[in-house]
Structure 1
Amino acid sequence: MKKRGQVTIFIVLGIVILVVFGFLFFVRGNVNEASFEEEMSSLTVPKEIESVKLYFDNCVEDLVDEGLTTIGEQGGYINLPKDIMFRSYTNPFSNSLEIYDGLKVAYWYYESANGIEMNQVPSLENIEVELENYINDNFKECYYNIYSFEQEGYEFSLPSLVNSDVKINTNNIQVSVNALVSVNHKDVNANIEKHMILVDSKFGDMYDSAVSIMNKENEEMFLEEKTIDMMVVYDEIPFSTTEFSCEKKIWQKSQVLEDMKGIVSTNIDQIRLDQPESSGAIKTNDYFEIDIPKKAGINDYFIYSTSWPMQMDVSPTKGDILVGDAITQSVPEISKFLNLFFCLNNYHFVYDIKYPVLIRLTDSKGYTLQFATMVRIDNNQPREYNEEVVNYDDADKFSKDFCENKVMPVETRVYDYDKFSSIAGASVSYKCFSSICYIGETNEDGLLQANFPPCLNGVVIAQKEGYEINGESLSTNSESSAAVYLDKYYDLSLDIKTLDLDDGYTRLIEDRYQTVIQFENLDNGYVTMVTQDDKTIKLTNGNYKITEYLLTSSDLEIELKSDTFTQCVSVPKAGVLGLFLKDDKCFDTQVESSELTDVIVGGATFEWNQELSSAKKITVYVPYDMMPRVQNDLITIFNNIQTTKDNSNFRYPSVE
């Protein structure tokens, strides 16, 4: 009992100490504010000089307003932190969000192009220093308009040294500028040694709210959780399900990305801080409310614009096409049929997504504090917050030093693969494990002579608009050279026709048919997909594997028996030394018996090569085999697709 009594006493003492310290902190804050206002009131000058004092006080207030506006718009910085890598194709996010040309907002959390988590939350003390420096550097602007006083006979001695002190409080900002201005007017002399103003602003309150939002996001990943909800709820985003449909099994990654941007923009805009019941405001949907109390007089906005970057990697894909991985089943031929993803819509896609969200806070006086954070989905899961996220001021030394340590001379030439001609203005980067360094651009002769950081088995990456990106392996631990060849895109008009395998006749695509054609360049990995709705196609020269499917609706319902199968998705995983390996994630799926009304009626798969440099148009012929009546007919059609090219009436694509 004695020990229990001692513990109780210690708890009570602890509570008392906390209350006392809290009270003392509150009292000290009020005393400091009262002391500041008292000193400000004591700064008096002769009546003849009052207009000059008022002018300089107003000028200081204007400088504070300008500096605070810039700080608020740029995420707590007047001078944004520098990124060790330029914003580019390989680094679209950089360390700041470019809202529009000329306005950038610092990320308070982001992942660098080298895969390092970074924290750029400015302390309130740093913001105060930024504002002090801004006032010191721009106080001379107050001198420009004193000529109006000089015309009235005022004489000035202006300061060469300016020293400011800024204190940001919850509801105001105290500014004191030590800058000796000596004034003489009609035998009246006065020294204005200090300029003090009190700015009515909730900037301190907004900063506290902003930090609370960032901490909440790092602890609960509420933005990531809601993003995953969007992926599950919206049909436009293929995620994980089983359907019987011949039409919904093809997605273009580029279109899914655009749909995802629109969905995110619409939903992020609905997120709000928790509105107290006592405020009398109309409550919004609780799902979109974040468990952070909304402070009086401060409005909050969560924003994503579709014009901002979003990075989306999906597995499994083939180029720009989302396709399901292999289905494992006891009956091989049924397995092949089920793997024909146009008719059995079973899939589980694994996403890695990055995009920025802008959080904007405003007060009733028009002041704003906004910052950006990066939302990250990793293998369909919210990012894991590392308590030791690297701060901007002590960013990862290896990554920074690697790109700065460009000591090995390398001669890089970039060529057009078709013409073997030089490509001017090609952007060149160098990748070593997870680090990507921008090197420069080729000159008019397609040559870049520059120093590279030393690395064993790195990759020189070249890219230019109108060409397929390409890279070449290169070790830069000694003086070396590299040649990178880029395949030019050729824009061709597209015509798709059906081909009857029985008589060899070709026909225009009828409305009842749907065609899906995939072009996979076996030389450079370029993949694209078109349907009869497309009028043009972009191709590079090379050897292609072309896969064609012809689909239609059937008057008969073809029965598929229930079964269980396993679907595996290959996803990238990091290996030793940063090398990327493959890992399989498998999912068992129970497929209930059902009937198909959308069926495949023909197709082909074959290899094709054609010189395209002078081509203007390509015509593709999609074979018609037969209308299936039962499940075995579908399996027959699928098996025939592999050998259709051997049919005497088969036709390869033609160009003109």
Structure 2
Amino acid sequence: MKLQNKGQVTIFAIIAIILLLLFSLIFYLMIPDDPNIREISGDIETVDEEIEIYVRDCLTRVTDEALDIVRLQGGYIEFPRGVVTKMIDSNITVVNNRVIEQPGKIKVPYYIVNDQLSLPSLDLTTEQIESYVDKQLLECIDGFSPFIEENYEVDFEPPVSNVNIDELVIIQANFPIEAKRDDFRYTQDNFFIEIPINFKEMYRKATRLTIQEYLDGYLERHGKKLISLYAHQGGNKELYSLPPFALTIAGFDCEGVEWKMDEVENNLKTIYDQYYSELKIGRLNNTRVVSNDKMVQGVYDGFIVDVLAEDLKTHLDISYESKWGLSEFDVAPKTGDKLEPQEAEFFGIPMLPGFCSHRYAFKYSYRHPVLFEMSNDVNDEYKRSSSKGKFTYNFLMESHLCGNRVKDCGEENPNLEVMNKLFEELNLTSSICETLSPAEITLEVKDENNNPVDEAYVRYFCGDYLNDCHIGETDSNGLLKTNLPYCMNGVALFTKKEHYDSSKIISVTNDIGFKYDISMLKEKYLNYSVKLIKMDDYIEAFYKTNGFTKMSCEGKAPEDYFGEMLRDLPGQLDSVIGGFQEKNKFYNPSFTYSKLGKLPSTLNIPPGDYVFSSTYMGNVEIDSVTHAGREVSMNKDGEGPYKGMFPLGSFQLDVPINVEDLINGNTIEIFILVNHFSDEELNVSSFTKEYINEEGDISYKIKVEENSLLIEDCQNQEREMEIRIPKEFLKNNLQPQIKRII
């Protein structure tokens, strides 16, 4: 037993030695080459070249690392006091100003925070790179230890680098060196390298994106679009449903939809986490979402914002993560922690239940970070010594809604001094702004009461948003005297809080300066009324008056036909639900109109191009009919007459709202084509008519009366004839009328 045990111990000892040798070999093979260790030949004939390579290699590596830190940390190596940052997850980190290729977190600065610009200047970035290179170059050189080991005596002074950031990053280091051994002596003062990374262009794009957000709020508008997509639209409350900005629902169902504040906040964070990244900057290298569904396609295309010039080599990801939260989150109005609609109930109609109208009108306030990650294919071709992967430039902006307004809680206009400094430093304004006409022009801005409008902010566009100049603000007299760049048919845009934007076409030449008068309308609330027009009556009047242009064969004027067609709501409980959806922007003033009242009492419709949509709901009785020996009814059980509210027509129309009309008017009259009136005798067959085709034109066959056709000199026989009314005609003929009623 003892011998056997000895043998076992010997075997185990041998195995242990083998394993130790094996692990030692593996460990040795796994040790990466130390980039600081270089083999020096020691030959006097090549030592000058080796010193040159040694220094240039160190200079390249520390510059690579400096640029890596700068792009990861949004233009900074060291963050000055007051710069607000956020820790962001990353697959590469910065520890003690050294780049570490391992997952962790990095500090990313806000370029907009607390509604203020907070960008690093390119000069600051350059200075920080120079300081970093000077310090790290000495550390990398390590006292020229490889040469010292070969018995060289090396004297040197601290390096002083000069960095130029342009299409390339150029580094010139003043680094006096003297190396000698025996009779050999080597001296060098300056070392020069180029890094093929166009950091300046990335910084220019980041600055342009920041200023455009600061001025126009495309992040907030994107956030509002997402809220609108998930906003409650009536019926049962759906998953991730949000309180709508504006919605009015009328009917006999008096049960409104309610939310809790934490429910809304969590829903909104989830929606933003999943879909905020659908925001794309147009004309960059983006993957466009393509759908066979035109509505879905329109939604995704609406997420594309034009801010930058075309550059298909640049990629940009914009994102939000739910764990970042929503600070200062609030939705108003609310009762305690509960969000509920304003409800109006109308009673007193014999034998009928109460008629209810729910008005949802909520205002959101919150702040949240948005991460921008930008890369460029050309920059990514350069293989950096400090890290692998894309050269991605990171920065944050804070999106801020304040009562549904974009960064607008009553503060003053944007800080022109900050922006002008950035424009000057980076030449961010178009090159057209460099060549101004010597002819001074005067811009005078007044409101609808002829009072001067001060602090109206002015920008001038020539061709498109890329050719824009930031001009200034009007003074206390509403005046701005300035020189504009040469441009034919340029557009001056005027903006001010609590006013509607205004614009003026201005051509700039060498002619003597002109004075331009601009009207800026204060936000205005219009009284409104709704008139119904029955489709059959409209078609008949159209053909009898040759498109409302001539007296009919009966000698009746077009305006008489039109006036006789207009009807108020016939039923006490009838209602019209309508809304104006602004094209390419987020705005949706809506209303419910009935004899019992209207919600809201007035409409605020800014100038712009809208799509007006409406539905006429009538309190009706619809008789059943017999078809193929069977009773057909509108009731769910398929029997008897239907009694209750029923849609009697939907209508849609493109509607432009002009500044001039708003200035001169105080009331808007809305015309709506409907299929039936609620006081008609109706049965199931009444709802088989289709008036409007796929193109949006009215196309319907009717029986024309004898001697009623103007196109046949009033000598026609009675016959069936298809009447077609183009949608463009409807747009012009049925436009809402804005007028002044005293």
Sort the TM-score into its range (normalised by shorter chain).
0.3 to 0.5
The answer to which structure, 1 or 2, has the higher relative contact order (CA under 8 A, 6+ apart) is 1
Taking structure 1 as the reference length, what is the TM-score of the superposition? 0.46
Higher strand share: 1
Taking structure 2 as the reference length, what is the TM-score of the superposition? 0.41
The structure whose Rg is larger is: 2
